[in-house]
Amino acid sequence: HNPGYVMLGASMLWVGWFGFNAGSQLAANGNAGITLLVTHISACAASLSWALYEYYKHGRASLVGLVTGTIAGLATITPASGSVTPVEAFIIGSVAGIVCQEMCSVVKNKFKLDDSLDVFAVHGMGGLLGILLLAPLGSIEFGGMGYSEVSILQQFKIQIIGSIAIAVWSGVMSYIILITLKNTIGIRISEKEEEIGLDQSSHAERAYLWRKH
C-alpha cells in the first residue's frame, strides 16, 4: 500500500541476494566476487529495462514497477550467476525486465490469476529465463565435457530437461503441501475476517488508527 515501503523491502532483498548468490560459491574468493558483481549488474539492468518498457507501453514509469524489475533481474541471474560475465549479466537483466513484465500481464489478464506479488511472472518466469539463457551465454560443464564441446542446441536440450524436472518436482511437492494445509489448519480465512483485516482478526491490533474529526 506504500511505494516507499515497497522500495525499502526491495532494497533489503537486493542486498540479501548478494549473500544468496555469492555465498553459493562457499568461499570468499574471486568467483564469489564476480558472482556478486553480475548479480548487481543484472538487477540494475532489469530495473532500467522494466521502467523504460513500462514508459514505452503506458507513457509513465512507476517506482513499484522499477523495483519489481529489480527482483526480476535478481531472480533471472540466479541460475547463471556463477557462469556469466558482466556483459552477459547486463543482457540477461535487460531481457528479464521486459519478458517478466509481459508475463505479469499474461498471468493477470489472460489467465485471470490473482498473483498479487507477481511471484510466478517474476520468480518463476525469471528463473526459467535465466536457466535457458545460460545455454547461449553461460560457460559451464556438462557431464565432464567443456563448454566448447557442447553445441548450443545440446545445451538448450539439457537446460529444458532440467527445467521440466524442477517444474514437476515443485508442482508435486507444492500440491502435497497445499492439500496437507487445507485438511489441517486450512488455507483460507472467513469472509468476515477478511473484511475486518488480519491485523485485527488474528492479532487484535491495527496498523493505522484513524481518527474521526
* pLDDT tens digit sequence for 25-53: 899 999 999 999 999 999 999 999 999 99
- Do the Cβ atoms of 137 and 90 come closer than 8 Å? no
pTM: 0.86
Q: Could you tell me if 57 and 64 are in contact, meaning their C-beta atoms sit under 8 angstroms apart?
A: no
* Burial 63-75, CB ≥16 within 10 A → b, else e: eebbbbbbbbbbb
Distance CA 103, CA 122 (A): 8
For residue 3, the model assigns a pLDDT of 92
Q: Where are the alpha helices (DSSP H) in 63-151?
A: 63-77, 86-105, 125-137
DSSP 29: S
* Sign of the four-CA dihedral 193, 199, 202, 204: negative
**CA pair distance 200, 197, nearest whole angstrom:** 6
**Amino acid at residue number 85:** T
Summarize pLDDT for 97-152 with one digit per residue, the tens: 999 999 999 998 898 888 878 899 999 999 999 999 988 888 755 444 455 567 88
- The CA-based dihedral angle spanning residues 14, 102, 127, 51, taken in that order and rounded to the nearest 10 degrees: -20
pLDDT per position as a tens digit, 64-82: 999 999 999 999 999 999 8
pLDDT of 21 reads 95
> Which residue's C-alpha cell is 524436472?
165
